[in-house]
Amino acid sequence: MRKNILSLSIAAALAVPALAMAQTAAPAAAPAPSPFTGNAGLFSQYIFRGLTQTGGKSAIQGGGDYAHASGLYAGTWLSNVSWIEDAGAARNSSLEWDFYGGYKNSFGGGDFGYDVGLLQYYYPGLRTPGATTANTREVYGALNWKWISAKLSYSLTEKTFGVDHSKGSWYFDLTATYPMTDSLSLVAHYGIQKYKGEGFVCNPAGASNGTCASYKDWKLGASYALPQSWTVGGYVTGTRMNGTQKTFYTSAGRELGATALTAFVQKTF
């Protein structure tokens, strides 16, 4: 009997610490977020730098990104377009396919950030003989503070979006995305597109030094976050152009930079 009591006492003494450890053990760590993200959306039209890329018609867009813990990232993005075919510059050219990569990080306690990278705009299709390619490569740099960002993109190609001898053209983007609530955000944007080069459509003789293609654009809008990573929203866009610039950006009888309303629904995953 003593032996049994002693055995039970020893077993109880060993079991109590084990039980205590089980009760105080930390919960299992949450899985680390995936470095891969994606997005897909339906837009009533595709607006890029104030100009409609789809002739006012709807666009399906989507892409994917990889972000490394070091700050390095890479990604790709696609959308249907019509402006190249509308201009008669190519056939079977209804796709914009972008490739990009860069490095971004934050400083100042996380309120400030910067982003530098390289972006290739690729438009597959059969080019019309004598037409200029729209394929464009840009290097960019951006600074941001909380909900305000400033970004400068600089063209490395001689034919920037189809404008001849336009290497060194640049685009400045100032954007504010202000969170009104956890779900509702307001956005305001102002941009300056400055072309160097001939502006061949406005002046075939080649004396316009990019004036015909240069312009300014703006955007005002809002977005609302829904459950399951869905977002809906809309925005109004427009441009500031003189008569010659409006002629340059008129295709198939449509002013590409006219004031327009765009609505969208988007999913991130």
The 3-class SS string of 29-77 reads CCCCCCCEEEEEEEECCCEECCEECCCCCCEEEEEEEEECCCCEEEEEE
Per-residue confidence (pLDDT) for residue 21, from 0 to 100: 39
Cα–Cα–Cα angle for 174, 175, 176, rounded to 5 degrees: 135
The predicted pLDDT at position 13 comes to: 40
Q: Which residues pair with 70 in a beta bridge?
A: none
Residue-level pLDDT at 32:
77
Are 257 and 217 in contact, with CB atoms under 8 Å apart? Answer: yes
pLDDT at 198: 55
| Cα dihedral across residues 245, 251, 253, 259: positive or negative | negative
- Contact partners, residue 202, CB within 8 Å, separation at least 6: 208, 211, 212, 213, 244, 245, 247, 248
Spans in the chain with pLDDT lower than 70: 1-30, 197-210
Residue 224's identity, in one-letter code, is: Y
Phi, psi angles (nearest 5°) of residue 7: -65, -45
How far is Cα 153 from Cα 111, in angstroms, rounded to an integer? 23
Residues 6+ apart with CB under 8 A from 180: 186
CATH code: domain 35-262 is 2.40.160.40
The domains of the chain are located at 35-262
- The pLDDT value recorded for residue 252 is 86
Q: Global pTM?
A: 0.86
